[in-house]
């Protein structure tokens, strides 16, 4: 029976020395599960043991620790710890690793232990990190009137910061968009905000006010002028240095995120457009990222993802990228060579992180070597492609690694076999000694056989007895005293002996081997120190490779899918000829119907009507996706494309309830609409897909109309607005920058076929019932709905103005009356008594009385 004794309630004076040390250490790591190294195991005690045994399905046992009852304990073998840590971290725990700081063989009493690092979701540096995604850790620092936020990927060293001066919603929007999974906040921050992030979005949050105060990492923030941002960065730095505890000098200078340089959109847009993953299955497959990712390196894939999430607005830079994509496409033989060479480049960014932090093994070093070896070739290829950035090839590091690291080193650094012969003379000597003696031992077998005449005699080795001579039972009687054999072990079918000579050689071998292992370890560390000096250079190369890889990927994808180079203009003309949705097209192949998206200088709004399933949403999405592709430097899925550079994209597509925050579809719709119209500029793109359908017909229609008018008159952003309120199409008459278009369908014998072709003008039929019949609803039901539709259509013809309550629930007479009442109210509302002469007022009253027969 296991007890659930708590650490907080034990009498510490009675604890054994080891357990006393444990509880004192654990006091400083209250919010972590402490992995406490005992020999070959990491053990957990008290509450940690209880939690870990539950989460990791380990057996809970007990340890005697001086108390009456045993202390709850569970453990895992030290070599298998990484998968256990993964599980705990994914579940949102923090793990503190407490190692033995002294060699247990060399100290008396308890070995000194301390936490060497804390591992959390955002501070992982291990090999199990997903190579295609960045792993950011972020912080928010509250200055009450505004908030600073900074974030870094410790595995790659990237570091960013910005100030957020708006409300909590804006902050949540930012946090969610970046996909941060761990957040540090200072202690003055709004509790409600923390709760929302923690509970609704599952973000791991640590509250601390500590600020980094040394100088070692000053370079990270020295170029940032704003004192608030400096504080923000130092707040995050304190946390990561405190958890990682190792050298993190691969962290780069912090970059200030300049919103003016990026095409801005929020997480909803990212989701709606399926940029990174699909809405339904949350899968990378069939997302835009999936389509465009023909990268050869993990760095390229991550860079592409970063670009898709943050497209740019710098025309020169975009044209520079187009130029290079075009060049690579024409030089397709060089492109092939480049791709093959990029295959040899490993994840230099993450390798830099491990070099700096120190958890890099010989195989990582080999990966670095292979990557560096590929650089001269890449450099040559880039020169022949007129690429405008210079790659530094780092030949001296490459040749150092070539000289030193063996081709197939073991994973562990404590087994030797890492360093090549010929690099270090002491090592060579030791190896000679060791292998010479090994040969010598093999010779002993031969010599002894001859000397003793025992044919089956063998020389063997085991860990307990070292080298021995083995004689089978049957031949045992042949062993004579004068041989000088000392018996060591008797087994069922043989006898094992040692000799003086054998033991002497053994000492030399084992002594040499231990020395070799230690020396190799030291040499490896020295090499790592040398390589460490090149980290910033390696990072520079990595950045260039990421970009080149992404651009070659654009070239491949553009060729495969017939994308064209966009023509960026300074006017407000958007003209995408024969535009396609690249992902839907990829899936449907030739069946996809291309469409023009044309908004000249005088057209800002396209009002799109058409039956359900006609392709309205797809048409709108493809516009936004095309623009995003253009603004990351990729070619676009069109026959030709002329477009201005957009500053922001807003979307309201699909009726996905925000289940997380528990808000209704309509509320979410209105919030998103508000976000769009309050933030959009005339250089933005707005996509509103059937806005207003979450509420009663006339509410929805009125709101839709008001929003259209607002955008038309005040914002002037390029807008695509799909609707099934056909009544709205009359707006074209009054709003001169609005154009009606529709997606056509063909009806024959009551059956519709969708042509997916977009045409000028409005459509007056919604084909809803036809679509329902396609979905095989019962025939009687379809027939009945047609009858009902007829009744409604007759009603609608009789009334001109929109009424508030649902007309459909009233009798015909009631409807007439309601319409009359509305007209009456309208008439009253329309007059301005203060501006009327008494005579006019009298006349008005008289007319009213007459008209309504009162």
Q: Applying CB under 5 A, which residues contact Mg ion?
A: 617
Q: Is residue 685 involved in binding ligand ADP (CB under 6 A)?
A: no
157 versus 611: smaller Cβ distance to ligand ADP: 611
**DSSP conformation letters of 560-590:** HHT-B--EE-SSS-EEEEEE--HHHHHHHGG
Which of the stretches 55-63, 265-273, 466-474, 606-614 binds ligand ADP when contact is defined by CB under 6 A? 606-614
Q: Which does 324 bind (CB under 5 to 8 A by kind): ligand ADP, Mg ion, none?
A: none
Distance of closest approach, residue 724 Cβ to Mg ion, in angstroms: 9
604/617 with CB nearer Mg ion = 617
Binding of ligand ADP at residue 650 (CB under 6 A)?
A: no
> Is the CB of 249 or the CB of 616 nearer to Mg ion?
616
Q: Which residue lies nearer to ligand ADP by CB, 117 or 618? A: 618
DSSP state of 659: T
Long-range contacts of 618-622 (CB under 8 A, 24+ apart): 618/581, 618/584, 618/756, 619/595, 619/720, 619/743, 619/758, 620/653, 620/687, 620/689, 620/720, 620/722, 621/272, 621/273, 621/581, 621/653, 621/687, 622/579, 622/580, 622/581, 622/582, 622/584, 622/595, 622/597
122 makes contact, choosing from ligand ADP, Mg ion, none, with CB < 5 to 8 Å by partner type, with none
Which of 232, 269, 310, 617 binds ligand ADP (CB under 6 A)? It is: 617
Q: Which of residues 398-457 bind ligand ADP (CB under 6 A)?
A: none
* Residue nearest ligand ADP, Cβ-based: 615
Q: Which stretch binds ligand ADP (CB under 6 A): 124-132, 205-213, 588-596, 733-741?
A: 588-596
CB of residue 613 to Mg ion, shortest distance in Å: 8
The reply to whether 810 sits near ligand ADP by the rule CB under 6 A is: no
User: Segment contacting ligand ADP (CB under 6 A): 175-183, 198-206, 258-266, 613-621?
Assistant: 613-621
Residues in Cβ contact with 620 at an 8 Å cutoff, skipping those fewer than 6 apart? 608, 653, 687, 689, 720, 722
Q: Does residue 432 contact residue 440 with C-beta atoms inside 8 Å?
A: no
The nearest distance, CB 771 to ligand ADP, in angstroms, is 9
Q: How far apart are CA 184 and CA 149, in angstroms?
A: 10
Residue 357 CB, nearest distance to ligand ADP (Å)? 47
State the binding partner of 613 from ligand ADP, Mg ion, none, CB within 5 to 8 A by kind. ligand ADP
Instruction: Say whether residue 593 binds ligand ADP (CB under 6 A).
Output: yes
Nearest to 820 by CA among 782, 792, 848: 848
Helix (H) or strand (E) segment spanning residue 115: strand 113-119
612 binds ligand ADP (CB under 6 A): yes
**Binding residue for ligand ADP (CB under 6 A) from 312, 613, 772, 815?**
613
Distance in angstroms (rounded) separating the CA atoms of residues 725 and 696: 12
Interacting residues with ligand ADP between 747 and 786 (CB under 6 A): 756
Task: Kindly state whether residue 152 participates in binding ligand ADP, applying the rule CB under 6 A.
Answer: no
Residues paired with residue 207 on neighbouring β-strands, in sequence order: 185
Q: Which of 615, 633, 637, 692 binds ligand ADP (CB under 6 A)?
A: 615
Measure the CA–CA gap between 564 and 294, rounded to whole angstroms: 17
State how far the Cα of 368 lies from the Cα of 531, in Å rounded to an integer: 10
Which residues, in sequence order, are bridge partners of residue 113?
100
Number of residues that bind ligand ADP (CB under 6 A): 13
* Rounded least distance, CB 610 to ligand ADP, Å: 6
DSSP conformational letter for 423: S
With CB under 5 to 8 Å by kind, the binding choice for 270 among ligand ADP, Mg ion, none is none
Residue 742 binding ligand ADP, by CB under 6 A: no
Closest contact distance (angstroms) between CB of 743 and Mg ion is 10
* Residue ranges of E strands in 683-831: 685-689, 718-722, 738-748, 751-760
Are the C-beta atoms of residues 76 and 42 closer than 8 Å to each other? Answer: yes
For Mg ion, the closer of residues 427 and 653 by Cβ is 653
* Span of 53-61, 357-365, 545-553, 591-599 interacting with ligand ADP by CB under 6 A: 591-599
Alpha-helical runs (H) found in 245-394? 267-272, 288-292, 298-309, 315-330, 332-342, 348-357, 362-384
CB 139 within 8 A of CB 236: yes
Stretch that binds ligand ADP, among 191-199, 363-371, 458-466, 587-595 (CB under 6 A): 587-595
Q: Judge contact between 339 and 554, C-beta under 8 A.
A: no
> Among residues 613 and 848, whose Cβ is nearest to ligand ADP?
613
Candidates 614, 668, 707, 769: give the one binding ligand ADP (CB under 6 A).
Answer: 614
Nearer to ligand ADP, 549 or 690 (CB): 690
Q: How far is the CB of 707 from Mg ion (least distance, A)?
A: 18
Distances (CA, A) of 417 to 400, 433, 466, 529: 17, 15, 21, 19
Measure the CA–CA gap between 266 and 176, rounded to whole angstroms. Answer: 9
Instruction: Report the candidate in 259, 256, 275 with the shortest Cα–Cα distance to residue 267.
Output: 275
Closest separation in Å from C-beta 690 to Mg ion: 6
- The reply on whether position 740 binds ligand ADP by CB under 6 A is no
B/e letters for 252-287, b = 16+ CB within 10 Å, e = fewer, are bebeebeeeebbbbbbbbbbbbbbbbeeeeeeeebb
Query: Which residue's Cβ has the minimum distance to Mg ion?
Result: 617
Secondary structure string (H, E, C) spanning 582-642: HHHHHHHHHHCCCEEEEECCCCCEEEEECCCCCCHHHHHHHHHHHHHHHCCCCCECCCEEE
Q: Does 592 bind ligand ADP (CB under 6 A)?
A: yes
Spatial distance between the Cα atoms of 538 and 543, rounded to a whole number of angstroms: 9
Q: Which one of Mg ion, ligand ADP, none is in contact with 776 (Cβ closer than 5 to 8 A by kind)?
A: none
CB 312 within 8 A of CB 263: yes
- Based on the number of CB atoms within 10 Å of its own CB, is 774 exposed (0-12), middle (13-18) or buried (19 or more)? middle
Rounded CA-CA distance 154/138 in Å is: 11
The one of ligand ADP, Mg ion, none whose footprint includes residue 618, by CB under 5 to 8 A per kind, is: ligand ADP
Pick one of ligand ADP, Mg ion, none as the site partner of residue 592 (Cβ within 5 to 8 A by kind): ligand ADP
Q: Does 616 bind ligand ADP (CB under 6 A)?
A: yes
Compute the distance between CA of residue 89 and CA of residue 124 in angstroms, rounded to an integer.
9
Least distance in angstroms from the C-beta of 595 to ligand ADP = 6
Closer to Mg ion at the Cβ: 98 or 691?
691
Asked if 618 is part of the footprint of ligand ADP (rule: CB under 6 A), the reply reads yes
Nearer of residues 373 and 722 to ligand ADP, judged by Cβ: 722
- Number of separate helices (H) and strands (E) present in the chain: 26, 26
Q: Which ranges constitute the DSSP H helices of 723-807?
A: 731-734, 768-774, 779-798
User: Collapsing DSSP states into helix, strand and coil, what is residue 654?
Assistant: coil
Nearer to ligand ADP, 134 or 766 (CB): 766
Residue with smaller CB distance to ligand ADP, 549 or 585 = 585
**Among ligand ADP, Mg ion, none, residue 756 binds (CB under 5-8 Å by kind):** ligand ADP
Scanning 415-423, 611-619, 662-670, 793-801 for contacts with ligand ADP by CB under 6 A, the matching segment is 611-619
For binding to ligand ADP (CB under 6 A), which residues are involved? 588, 591-593, 610, 612-618, 756
């Amino acid at each position: 029976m296991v007890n659930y004794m708590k650490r907080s309630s034990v009498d510490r004076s009675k604890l054994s020395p080891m357990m006393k040390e444990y509880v004192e250490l654990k006091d400083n790591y209250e919010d972590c599960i402490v992995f406490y190294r005992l020999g070959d195991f990491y053990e957990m005690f008290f509450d940690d043991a209880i939690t870990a045994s539950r989460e990791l399905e380990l057996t809970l046992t007990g340890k005697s620790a001086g108390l009456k009852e045993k202390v709850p304990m569970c453990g895992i073998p030290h070599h298998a710890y990484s998968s256990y840590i993964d599980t705990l971290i994914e579940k949102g725990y923090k793990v503190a690793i407490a190692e033995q700081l002294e060699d247990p063989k060399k100290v008396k009493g308890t070995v000194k232990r301390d936490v060497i690092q804390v591992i959390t979701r955002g501070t992982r540096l291990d090999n199990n990190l997903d190579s295609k995604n960045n792993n950011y850790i972020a912080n928010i620092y509250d200055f009450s009137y505004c908030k600073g936020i900074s974030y870094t990927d410790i595995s790659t060293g990237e570091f960013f910061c910005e100030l957020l001066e708006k409300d909590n919603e804006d902050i949540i929007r930012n946090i969610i968009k970046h996909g941060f999974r761990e957040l540090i906040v200072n202690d003055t921050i709004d509790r409600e905000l923390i709760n929302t992030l923690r509970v609704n979005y599952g973000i791991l949050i640590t509250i601390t006010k500590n600020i980094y105060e040394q100088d070692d990492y000053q370079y990270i923030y020295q170029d940032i002028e704003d004192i608030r941002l400096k504080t923000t960065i130092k707040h995050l730095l304190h946390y990561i240095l405190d958890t990682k505890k190792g050298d993190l000098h691969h962290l780069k200078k912090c970059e200030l995120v300049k919103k003016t340089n990026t095409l801005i959109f929020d997480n909803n847009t990212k989701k709606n457009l399926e940029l990174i993953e699909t809405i339904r299955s949350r899968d990378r497959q069939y997302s835009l990222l999936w389509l465009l990712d023909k990268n050869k390196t993990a760095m390229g894939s991550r860079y592409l993802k970063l670009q898709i999430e943050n497209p740019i607005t710098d025309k020169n830079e975009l044209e520079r990228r187009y130029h290079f994509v075009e060049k690579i496409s024409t030089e397709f033989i060089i492109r092939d060579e480049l791709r093959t060479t990029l295959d040899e480049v490993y994840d230099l960014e993450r390798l830099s992180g491990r070099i700096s932090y120190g958890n890099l093994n010989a195989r990582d070093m080999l990966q670095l070597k292979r990557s560096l070896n590929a650089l001269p070739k890449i450099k040559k290829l880039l020169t022949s492609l007129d690429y405008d950035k210079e790659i530094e090839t780092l030949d001296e590091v490459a040749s150092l690694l070539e000289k030193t690291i063996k081709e197939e080193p073991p994973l562990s650094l404590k087994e030797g076999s890492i360093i090549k012969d010929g690099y270090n003379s002491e090592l060579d000597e030791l190896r000679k000694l060791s292998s010479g003696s090994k040969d010598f031992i093999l010779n002993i077998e031969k010599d002894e056989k001859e000397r003793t005449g025992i044919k089956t005699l063998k020389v063997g080795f085991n860990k307990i007895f070292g080298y021995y001579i083995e004689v089978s039972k049957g031949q045992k009687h042949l062993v004579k005293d004068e041989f000088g054999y000392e018996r060591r072990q008797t087994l069922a079918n043989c006898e094992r002996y040692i000799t003086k000579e054998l033991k002497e050689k053994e000492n030399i071998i084992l002594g040499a081997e231990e020395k070799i292992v230690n020396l190799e370890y030291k040499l490896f560390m020295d090499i790592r120190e040398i390589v460490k000096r090149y980290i910033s250079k390696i990072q520079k190369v990595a950045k260039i490779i990421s970009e080149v890889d992404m651009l070659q990927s654009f070239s491949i994808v553009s060729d495969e899918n017939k994308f064209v180079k966009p023509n960026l203009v300074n006017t407000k003309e958007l003209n995408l000829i024969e535009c396609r949705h690249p992902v839907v097209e990829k899936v449907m192949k030739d069946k996809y119907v291309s469409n023009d998206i044309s908004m000249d200088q005088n057209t800002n709004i396209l009002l799109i009507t058409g039956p359900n399933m006609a392709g309205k949403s797809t048409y709108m999405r493809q516009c936004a996706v095309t623009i995003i592709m253009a603004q990351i430097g990729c070619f676009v899925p069109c026959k030709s494309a002329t477009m201005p550079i957009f500053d922001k994209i807003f979307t309201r597509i699909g009726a996905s309830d925000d289940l997380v925050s528990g808000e209704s579809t309509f509320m979410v719709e209105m919030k998103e609409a508000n976000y769009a119209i309050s933030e959009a500029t005339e250089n933005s793109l707005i996509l509103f897909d059937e806005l207003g359908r979450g509420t009663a017909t006339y509410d929805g229609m009125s709101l839709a109309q008001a929003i259209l008018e607002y955008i038309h008159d005040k914002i002037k952003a390029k807008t695509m607005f799909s609707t099934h309120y056909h009544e709205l199409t009359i707006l074209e008459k009054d709003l001169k920058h609005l154009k009606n278009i529709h997606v056509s369908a063909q009806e024959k014998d009551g059956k519709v076929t969708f042509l997916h072709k977009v045409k000028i003008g409005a459509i007056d039929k919604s084909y809803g019932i036809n679509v329902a019949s396609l979905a095989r609803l019962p025939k009687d039901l379809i027939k009945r709905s047609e009858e009902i539709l007829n009744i409604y259509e007759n009603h609608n013809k009789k009334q001109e103005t929109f009424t508030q309550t649902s007309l459909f629930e009233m009798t015909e007479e009631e409807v007439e009356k309601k319409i009359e009442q509305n007209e009456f109210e309208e008439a009253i509302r329309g007059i301005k008594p203060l501006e009327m002469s008494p005579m006019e007022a009298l006349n008005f009253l008289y007319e009213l009385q007459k008209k309504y027969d009162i």
